[in-house]
Structure 1
Amino acid sequence: MRRLKRDPLERAFVRGYQFGLHGKSRDLCPFTLPSVRQAWLNGWREGRGDQWDGLTGTAGIHRLNQINAVG
């Protein structure tokens, strides 16, 4: 049985979220395709917002599970 691959935009969003949550720069975005890059940046913004709200470490575990469960 073959596993279905996840949507590339969703994967980019989650990767961007993780970068933002860890306080990394948005200049580190590895994507050049505009739609995928936009999804990554949206995730990055969401992650930065959660970092600023203090949702890092054990306080943000429930949020990270919600982000990873999308789709």
Structure 2
Amino acid sequence: MRRLKRDPMERAFQRGYQHGVQGKSRDSCPFNTPSARQNWMNGWREGRADHWAGYTGISGVHRLNEMHAVG
């Protein structure tokens, strides 16, 4: 069965979240289009908040999966 590609906006959010939870700077955003950049920044903010709350490493990955399973 052929797999469909993931939504690029969801992917931008996930990549931003991963950068945020790792404590990386928001200046490392790789996207140029406004909508993808906004989704990346939203993910980065969520990840940064989780980083400050102590969700690092595997717990951050589990948190990301929980957020997308609900939403």
Kindly tell me: are residues 70 and 32 of structure 1, through their superposed partners in 2, closer, same or farther at Cα, counting changes over 3 Å?
A: farther
Count residues with an aligned counterpart: 71
Task: Give the aligned CA root-mean-square deviation in angstroms.
Answer: 1.9
Q: TM-score when scaled to structure 2? A: 0.86
Which residue number in structure 1 is paired with residue 43 of structure 2?
43
Identity of aligned residues (%): 70
Q: Is the alpha carbon distance of 1:61 and 1:11 closer, same or farther for their aligned partners in structure 2, counting shifts above 3 Å?
A: closer
1:26 matched to 2:32: no
Give the structure 2 partner of residue 55 of structure 1.
55
Unaligned stretches of 5+ residues in structure 2: none
User: Taking structure 1 as reference, are residues 23 and 46 closer, same or farther at Cα in structure 2, changes over 3 Å only?
Assistant: same
CA contact (8 A) 1:23 1:48 kept: yes
Gap regions ≥5 residues in structure 1: none
Using structure 1 for the length normalisation, give the TM-score: 0.86
Q: Which ranges of 4 or more aligned residues in structure 1 deviate by more than 4 Å?
A: 67-71
Q: Which amino acid aligns with 1:57?
A: G
Residue deviations 1:34-63, cap 9 Å, x none?
000000000000000000011113443431
